[in-house]
Every structure is written in structure tokens, then in C-alpha cells.
């Protein structure tokens, strides 16, 4: 599973509109929208689990906090790729609408 980077979420200031770039189509827009939903879900899951302490029975501590963050990232990616919660669809529609205006 890939990770999310800022370049995927925000286009460069001097980049051509996606409609003018060769080879860039609905698949690229869908991927960007799905990446946005993954990022949003990851942040949401982090907030949901923030107040849950680590389990001392299985070690706990800083290591568990780090692995929990990675686990929540994977949950977010799987959720987004399996249909998500509808954010990617809405973002994709808006991105395509904005492309048509330019």
C-alpha cells in the first residue's frame, strides 16, 4: 500500500490544468480523490483512538503508539479502497467539475 504525500493532494502552482496534461484522466482524478479520503480517514481514526491507552499486558509504551499509527493508516487505506465513506466520490465529482470550467 502506498503512502500519501503532499504532492498528490496539492498540485504545483505552475502545473497545467489536468484536462490539458497528456495521459491524465479520470483515473488520476480518482486516485487523487481516494488519496484525499485516505488522508481524511487516517486523521479521523487518529482522533478516535487518541484517548485510548496502550495495553501493558502486551508491552504498551511508545512502540505500541507507533505501530498503532501505522495500523490506523492501513485501516484508512483499506477503507478508502473498498468504497470508503463517500468523500472520494464527492471530491472526484468536484474536481471533474472544476476541470470542465477551465
- Taking the model in full, what pTM does it have? 0.66
pLDDT tens-digit readout, 84-101: 899 999 999 999 998 888
37-73 pLDDT, tens digit per residue, is 999 999 999 999 888 877 777 677 777 878 888 999 9
- What is the reported pLDDT for 25? 73
Domain boundaries, the chain: 25-49+56-101
Quote the CA–CA distance of 101 and 75 in Å, as a whole number.
Answer: 35
pLDDT for position 44: 94
Amino acid at each position: 500500500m502506498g503512502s500519501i504525500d503532499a504532492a498528490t493532494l496539492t498540485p504545483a502552482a505552475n502545473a497545467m490544468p489536468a484536462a490539458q496534461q497528456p495521459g491524465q484522466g479520470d483515473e488520476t482524478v480518482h486516485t487523487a480523490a481516494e488519496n484525499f479520503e485516505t488522508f481524511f480517514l487516517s486523521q479521523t481514526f487518529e482522533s478516535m483512538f487518541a484517548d485510548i491507552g496502550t495495553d501493558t499486558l502486551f508491552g504498551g509504551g511508545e512502540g505500541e503508539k507507533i505501530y498503532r499509527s501505522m495500523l490506523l493508516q492501513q485501516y484508512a487505506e483499506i477503507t478508502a479502497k473498498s468504497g470508503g465513506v463517500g468523500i472520494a466520490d464527492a471530491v472526484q465529482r468536484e474536481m471533474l467539475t472544476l476541470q470542465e470550467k477551465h
